[in-house]
Amino acid sequence: MANIFPRWTNYLPLKIVFCLLVLGGALSAFYWYYLTPEYMRAGYQPIQPVPFPHDIHVTQLGMDCRYCHSYVEVSSHSNIPTTQTCMNCHTQIQANNPKLAAVRESWQSGNPVDWVKIHQVPDFAYFNHSVHVNRGISCVSCHGQVNHMDVVYQKEPLSMGWCLNCHRNPENNLRPINQVFNLDWKPGSAESQEQIGLELKQQWNINPPQTCEGCHR
């Protein structure tokens, strides 16, 4: 009796398995490169309802980060400024500037300005702003030099690997408490960042968690 299937079909299951492995590897590589925070979020620069040039407010006018982000030292979440905070100045300064129309409308209606959130930590990850800034981690470490940004964008990926790199070597980012909000601060010529960081790490007994429960609670 003649064979129903040709001889080459004997190798068909192996070929199917091989193709599935190749496809799985290709999909994994695609996900690893294109769907991670390093690719998807770093550089994210949305258009905001009101153009807010940080470089003018911070660098030129000398405003402190905490004037607008007033809860950053005491809360797990940093806050965006309320309309009241903006209008403390802009009832007098550039009060009729058309770029501030959304702020004036918010002031009259009582509805908040629809700011677009840039830096987003996943719901399954825990991050406490106050813990970090009260132990020498500056805004610059996570957000970049916002004081020189005309339009704010996400500088760092904020991925798990990126966070762990800091937790393993916190001395690379530690600075004196009184310099946390000085976004242009650099170590003096006598000491390097690592030397200052190691001293502060020992002085404050800093030992960031590196296990899952440290951030996934």
Domain ranges of the chain: 44-80+115-214
User: What pLDDT is stored for residue 12 in this prediction?
Assistant: 81
Tens-place pLDDT, residues 44-81 = 999 999 999 999 999 999 999 999 999 999 999 999 99
Residues β-bridged to residue 174: 137
Mean pLDDT, the chain, integer: 92
> To 10 degrees, the CA torsion angle through 16, 19, 25, 26?
-140
Mean pLDDT of 81-86: 96
**Alpha helical stretches, state H, the chain:** 12-34, 37-40, 54, 65-68, 83-90, 101-109, 129-133, 139-143, 160-168, 193-203
174: helix, strand or coil: strand
Q: What is the pTM of this model?
A: 0.80
Task: Render pLDDT for 113-160 as a digit per residue (tens, 0 to 9).
Answer: 999 999 988 889 999 999 999 999 999 999 999 999 999 999 999 989
* Angstrom distance (rounded) from CA 55 to CA 151: 9
